[in-house]
Each structure stands twice: as C-alpha cells, then as structure tokens.
Amino acid sequence: MTDNVSAGVVLLPAETTVPVTRDEDHQAELSRYPVAPGMPRTEVVELAWTAGGRVIEVRLDGLRVGELTHAVSQRYAPVLARLSAGGARAGCVALLRAGVQGTEVSLRLPRDGDAPIPSGATGFAVSSWRGSGRRRPWWIAVAVVAAIALAAAVGSGVRSTETVSGSPSARDGVACR
C-alpha cells in the first residue's frame, strides 16, 4: 500500500473519515485503481496545497484525484504547515469505493486538524503501517490449503482396527487384530 509514496511523506493518524470533493473530475486517473463494488481499496495519498494555495489537493501516485473543501482545508492547514516547515509532506490513508459517478475517495485523517505531528516525523521515511491493499500475502493461501489438506487427512484417516473377512469375528461384527 505504501509502494506509491515517495520518501519524505509522513503518514497522519487515521482517526476520522473526510470526503474528497471533485473526485468525479479525476476518473481517468482513478481508473488505474480498479475497485469492486462493496470492496473498498486502501491506498496512501499525499496532501498538498493547490497552485493557488486555497485548498488542499489529494494526490495518488503524484496525480491529482480530488481536493478537500475550503473549510476542511483550513482545518488541516496547521499540520501541513508544520510538516512543510520541517521538510516533510503530509500523507494519509485513502479509501477508494465504487460509487454512482465512478470511484469515490475518502480520507482517514486526525480528528483535530491542529493535532501533534506523529513522533519521529522527520520527513525522511514513510510509516510502516500496512492495511488491506492490492496484494494479499501468498502464505495465507498456502496455510489455508495446508489446513484443508490436514483436515481431510484426519477426517478420512486410517482406522485403528481392521476386520478380517471370512473370520468368525468379522461375521459377528467384532474387529480382530
């Protein structure tokens, strides 16, 4: 999930969901990230001021995919300013969902726009947070197959007693060794 983020991005705490506006204008960029209905996709995005500096834009792999409203941009301006002053850039978790007008984007951001910057946020490393993303670890599939094979082997396992056909005890239904 953090494969698409360059060094110097600090991942902000994911405490509340904030909608992204004008994502419908960026469906060409968002089409690179397929989303199945009912299955949100998690990505890391970068937050930056627009060229005019009035609102915060949302960038996925360096491409603009939407923006925050003016009011929400002003709410998170202090944390962007502090990170920028320290030579870092703000990043956050984004949820991509299939919607009526295409892919819809929402962000997971701190509740307080003036929240403290995460400890160790020097702007030279991306957080190691990993969520559900594009790739599932291959070992999960291997473990599931192994568990099913083990359960099948135990369920149809070798019986501890065998009957010998033709013996008197086999006719009586008694097992012998």
Q: What is the mean pLDDT of each run of 10 residues along the chain (177 residues)?
A: 65 94 96 94 95 93 96 94 90 95 95 72 41 48 70 65 52 54
Report pLDDT for 95.
Answer: 97
The answer on 148 and 68 residing in a single domain is no
Report pLDDT for 125.
Answer: 40
Task: State how many domains the chain has.
Answer: 2
Report pLDDT for 111.
Answer: 92
Report pLDDT for 152.
Answer: 75
Residue carrying structure tokens 């490393």: 125
CA 76 to chain centroid, in Å, comes to 23
Report pLDDT for 126.
Answer: 41
CA 95 to chain centroid, in Å, comes to 8
The answer on 154 and 83 residing in a single domain is no
The answer on 105 and 20 residing in a single domain is yes
Report pLDDT for 140.
Answer: 63
pTM: 0.65
Answer whether residue 123 is part of any domain.
no
Instruction: Give, in order, the Cα–Cα distances in Å from 69 to each of 19, 45, 54.
Output: 9, 17, 9
Identify the domain containing residue 148 by its residue range: 138-171
- Give the per-residue SS3 of 156-172: CCCCCCECCCCCHHHHC
Report pLDDT for 39.
Answer: 94
Answer whether residue 61 is part of any domain.
yes
Question: d(Cα 86, Cα 89) in Å, to the nearest integer?
Answer: 9
Report pLDDT for 154.
Answer: 74
Helices (H), the chain: 27-30, 70-85, 138-155, 168-171
CB neighbours of 72 closer than 8 A, spacing ≥ 6? 18, 56
The answer on 87 and 8 residing in a single domain is yes
